[in-house]
């Protein structure tokens, strides 16, 4: 179906809400009966070049999926993670490869649909997440309730979110910290030789609590303990993934020698990972792009809780679609790190907002997204 015909099919208002300010050409879609599934790749421009121990970039491309049926459009997004060998084009091809499953699917039977998708698609968790978010947005809209209500949650329980400061020169780090003045908790990327200069630069301009993410940066347990003990003296309240994901025995050794919680990120992708992490980590960082969507993220939260672990709900750099989807589960989390959309200058949507660091969930049906006002 051509884009013009699609616009006519769902009505101009619906289409505008679905794809406001689309960045890339090449929407593809397919229909069966009244169901339309579209994919698109949207280029998100970063306010600052984003650097971690793994990569550095000025933009991020994310996959957007739209599921339209019965006059309602569910919107989803996935940000493929390079660390796990995913990229946006392949994610899009993955969704397109299962159109024969998605188009005739009954969205109300979303648990079976999720199982069928897992059966058909190996890997491709960002693609799975984009589909899952679109379906759950559709369900919430069809029911006329926000997703947090569907999960029985109180939006007032949404935690404070940290704001991330990427690796940079001391001067730029100071500037970024000053720009983040309205956020009460900062998250800092470390894991390089410049860690000390980075922390000194931050502490020269703020006394705020810091959360630190080493992104697997320290390669020996002795180095990890030395660094974490030093961070404890710098007002750091938790450390994320200090060592490579596979080094669980080393992490267990480190944990017995430090005093702040250690949170698993790269070591914790899906629910099956969690039982072996108990005793090594104090908590897990759950992201929709790792889990494959909202339903699996919720499953992970329940499993981690049953093992007495803390919950962080995190994100990749993405638009308000994926961030808002995660925010709807955030009342279940101890920590939120949902700032991926705040790092972007051309977010096509508005959804969850941050007010004095607190996540404010939209109360519209489904995700509760609105097109961003034209700038
Ligand atoms: Mg992390």
Per the CB < 8 A criterion, the answer to whether 249 and 222 are in contact is no
Q: Are residues 73 and 133 in the same domain?
A: yes
Count of CB atoms within 10 A of residue 67's CB? 26
Q: 362 CA distance to ligand 1 centroid (A)?
A: 26
Residue where one domain finishes, among candidates 90, 120, 144? 144
Q: Are residues 339 and 247 in the same domain?
A: yes
Q: Are residues 58 and 183 in the same domain?
A: no
Q: 167 CA distance to ligand 1 centroid (A)?
A: 13
Q: 372 CA distance to ligand 1 centroid (A)?
A: 28
Encode pLDDT of 295-343 as tens digits.
Answer: 999 999 999 999 999 999 999 999 999 999 999 999 999 999 999 999 8
Number of structural domains, the chain?
A: 2
Q: 281 CA distance to ligand 1 centroid (A)?
A: 14
Edge-to-edge order in the sheet of strand 186-189? 163-165, 186-189, 210-213, 236-240, 262-264, 283-286, 310-313, 335-336
Q: 216 CA distance to ligand 1 centroid (A)?
A: 9
Q: 316 CA distance to ligand 1 centroid (A)?
A: 9
Q: How many CA atoms lie within 13 A of 143 on its CB side?
A: 18
Residue 175 token pair? 């500037």
Q: Are residues 156 and 123 in the same domain?
A: no
Q: 282 CA distance to ligand 1 centroid (A)?
A: 14
Average pLDDT score over residue span 196-216: 94
Q: Are residues 129 and 156 in the same domain?
A: no
The DSSP secondary structure of 3-35, one letter per residue, reads: HHHHHHHH-HHHHHHHSTT--SS--EEEEETTE
Mean pLDDT of the chain: 90
| CATH number of the domain residue 360 falls in | 3.20.20.120
Q: Are residues 137 and 259 in the same domain?
A: no
Q: 9 CA distance to ligand 1 centroid (A)?
A: 42
Q: 265 CA distance to ligand 1 centroid (A)?
A: 5
Average pLDDT score over residue span 192-219: 92
Average pLDDT score over residue span 207-211: 95
Q: Are residues 119 and 219 in the same domain?
A: no
Q: 266 CA distance to ligand 1 centroid (A)?
A: 7
Q: 56 CA distance to ligand 1 centroid (A)?
A: 15
Q: Are residues 139 and 7 in the same domain?
A: yes
Q: 129 CA distance to ligand 1 centroid (A)?
A: 18
Q: Are residues 304 and 169 in the same domain?
A: yes
Residue where one domain finishes, among candidates 144, 168, 201? 144
pLDDT band at 192; cut points 50, 70, 90: confident
Q: 103 CA distance to ligand 1 centroid (A)?
A: 35
Encode pLDDT of 36-74 as tens digits.
Answer: 999 999 999 998 876 665 666 899 999 999 999 999 999
3-state secondary structure of 101: helix
Q: 241 CA distance to ligand 1 centroid (A)?
A: 7
Q: 361 CA distance to ligand 1 centroid (A)?
A: 23
pLDDT given for residue 367 in this prediction: 98
Residue 271 zone, left/alpha/beta (φ > 0; ψ -120 to 50; rest): alpha
pLDDT band at 22; cut points 50, 70, 90: very low
pLDDT given for residue 68 in this prediction: 97
Residues whose CB falls within 8 Å of the CB of residue 321, separated by 6 or more in sequence, listed in order: 64, 75, 76, 77, 133, 349, 351, 367, 369
Q: Are residues 101 and 165 in the same domain?
A: no
CA pair distance 214, 32, nearest whole angstrom: 47
| CATH number of the domain residue 139 falls in | 3.30.390.10
pLDDT band at 212; cut points 50, 70, 90: very high
Q: 69 CA distance to ligand 1 centroid (A)?
A: 36
- Phi/psi of residue 202, nearest 5 degrees: -65, -45
pLDDT band at 190; cut points 50, 70, 90: confident
Residue where one domain finishes, among candidates 144, 176, 211? 144
Q: 215 CA distance to ligand 1 centroid (A)?
A: 5
Q: 190 CA distance to ligand 1 centroid (A)?
A: 10
Give this prediction's pTM.
0.90
Q: Are residues 80 and 212 in the same domain?
A: no
Q: 224 CA distance to ligand 1 centroid (A)?
A: 16
Encode pLDDT of 137-162 as tens digits.
Answer: 999 999 999 999 999 999 999 999 99
Q: 122 CA distance to ligand 1 centroid (A)?
A: 24
pLDDT given for residue 48 in this prediction: 80
CA pair distance 369, 266, nearest whole angstrom: 29
Q: 66 CA distance to ligand 1 centroid (A)?
A: 28
Residue 235 zone, left/alpha/beta (φ > 0; ψ -120 to 50; rest): left
Q: Are residues 167 and 107 in the same domain?
A: no
198: containing domain: 149-371
């Amino acid at each position: 179906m051509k884009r013009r015909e699609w616009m006519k099919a769902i009505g101009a208002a619906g289409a505008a809400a679905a794809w406001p300010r689309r960045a890339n050409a090449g929407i593809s879609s397919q229909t069966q009966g009244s169901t339309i599934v579209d994919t698109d790749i949207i280029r998100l421009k970063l306010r600052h070049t984003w650097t971690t121990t793994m990569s550095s970039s000025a933009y991020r491309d994310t996959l957007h999926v739209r599921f339209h049926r019965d006059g309602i459009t569910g919107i989803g997004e996935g940000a493929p993670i390079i660390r796990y060998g995913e990229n946006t084009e392949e994610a899009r091809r993955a969704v397109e490869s299962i159109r024969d499953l998605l188009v005739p699917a009954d969205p109300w039977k979303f648990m079976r649909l999720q199982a069928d998708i897992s059966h058909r698609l190996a890997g491709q968790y960002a693609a799975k997440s984009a589909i899952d978010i679109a379906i759950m947005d559709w369900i919430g809209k069809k029911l006329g309730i926000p997703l947090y209500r569907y999960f029985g949650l109180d939006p007032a329980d949404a935690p404070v979110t940290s704001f991330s400061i990427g690796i940079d020169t001391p001067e730029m780090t100071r500037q970024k910290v000053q720009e983040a003045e309205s956020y009460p908790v900062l998250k800092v990327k470390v894991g390089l030789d410049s860690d000390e200069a980075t922390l000194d630069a931050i502490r020269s301009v703020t006394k705020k609590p810091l959360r630190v993410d080493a992104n697997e940066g320290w390669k020996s347990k002795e180095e990890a303990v030395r660094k974490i003990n030093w961070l404890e003296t710098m007002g750091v309240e938790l450390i994320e993934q200090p060592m490579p994901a596979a080094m669980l025995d080393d992490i267990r050794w480190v944990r017995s020698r430090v005093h702040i919680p250690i949170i698993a990120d790269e070591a914790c992708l899906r629910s099956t990972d969690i039982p072996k992490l108990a005793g090594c980590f104090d908590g897990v960082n759950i992201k929709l792009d790792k889990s494959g969507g909202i339903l699996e993220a919720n499953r992970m939260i329940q499993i981690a809780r049953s093992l007495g672990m803390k919950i962080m709900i995190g994100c990749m750099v993405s638009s308000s679609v994926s961030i808002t989807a995660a925010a709807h589960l955030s009342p279940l989390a101890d920590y939120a790190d949902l700032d991926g959309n705040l790092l972007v200058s051309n977010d096509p949507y508005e959804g969850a907002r941050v007010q004095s660091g607190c996540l404010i969930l939209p109360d519209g049906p489904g995700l509760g997204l609105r097109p961003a006002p034209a700038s």
